[in-house]
């Protein structure tokens, strides 16, 4: 047993960690280490901050990895509370204001269930944006990326250099693209008999 008084009786050590690649709107993160906690890691929102609870023995590298995992898990849980079309439109308006100075103004933003090979689509002439229902339950930063991608099409129709320069304003573009590529790759994996108790 450690002589360190912070480890006695499970009193947690606290440290603050900045979120990985989170962008300006991210809440602060507080990591609490506990000698009582042996293997489990958990996280929750406490006011304007995120608290991540980890075993005291974890290294700094393990702490960073688990903070990232738990932030994604919390974000996925929160986005499972599916936004309605009106909330989706409000979110698009906020993102346009934040990243495109409000220049991208969609006439409509809605969920659709008929897009199984793409995450979203935009018809610039109508100002309409449609997002695949498959995005529901994914982390918020992924949803925001897809919304920004479609909003950018209201300003630049194609996928040329000017289009990608617009998306560079969003700090989690590469991470969101990687997440979506991972989902697509996982869907292409062969079905293994006996997996998940089948």
- Closest listed residue to residue 29, CA positions, set 41, 11, 45: 45
Strand 42-46, strand 49-55: pairing: antiparallel
* pLDDT at 82 (0 to 100): 64
- Per DSSP, what are the bridge partners of residue 14? 32
Question: Measured between alpha carbons, how far is 92 from 122 in angstroms, rounded to an integer?
Answer: 13
Beta strands in the chain (DSSP E): 13-17, 29-34, 42-46, 49-55, 108-112, 120-123, 128-132
**16 or 76: which carries more pLDDT confidence?**
76
- Residues 105, 166 contacting (CB under 8 angstroms): no
Average pLDDT of the chain is 81
* pLDDT at 117 (0 to 100): 85
Residue with tokens 């075993």: 55
Tell whether the model's pLDDT for residue 5 goes beyond 50. no
Contacts within 8 Å (CB) and 24+ apart, 50-56: 50/19, 50/74, 52/17, 53/12, 56/2, 56/7, 56/13
- Residues 145, 124 contacting (CB under 8 angstroms): no
Distances (CA, A) of 122 to 20, 78, 149, 198: 30, 26, 9, 39
Half-sphere exposure of 30 (CA within 13 A, CB side): 12
Tell whether the model's pLDDT for residue 197 goes beyond 80. no
Question: Measured between alpha carbons, how far is 83 from 151 in angstroms, rounded to an integer?
Answer: 18
The residue-averaged pLDDT of 99-125 equals: 91
């Amino acid at each position: 047993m450690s002589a360190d008084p912070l480890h006695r009786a499970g009193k947690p050590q606290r440290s603050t960690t900045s979120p990985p690649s989170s962008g300006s709107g991210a809440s602060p993160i507080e990591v609490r280490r506990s000698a009582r906690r042996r293997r489990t890691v958990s996280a929750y929102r406490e006011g304007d901050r995120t608290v991540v609870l980890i075993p005291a023995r974890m290294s700094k590298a393990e702490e960073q990895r688990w903070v990232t995992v738990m932030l994604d898990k919390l974000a996925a849980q929160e986005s499972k509370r599916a936004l309605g079309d009106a909330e989706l439109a409000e979110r698009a308006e906020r993102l346009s204001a934040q990243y495109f100075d409000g220049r991208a103004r969609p006439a409509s933003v809605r969920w659709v269930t008929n897009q199984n090979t793409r995450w979203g689509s935009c018809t610039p002439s109508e100002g309409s944006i449609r997002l695949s229902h498959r995005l529901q339950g994914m982390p918020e930063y992924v949803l925001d990326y897809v919304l920004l991608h479609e909003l950018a099409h209201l300003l630049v129709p194609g996928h040329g250099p000017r289009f990608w320069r617009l998306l560079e304003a969003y700090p989690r573009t590469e991470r969101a693209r990687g997440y979506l590529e991972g989902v697509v790759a996982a869907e292409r994996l062969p079905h293994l008999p006996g997996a998940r108790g089948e």
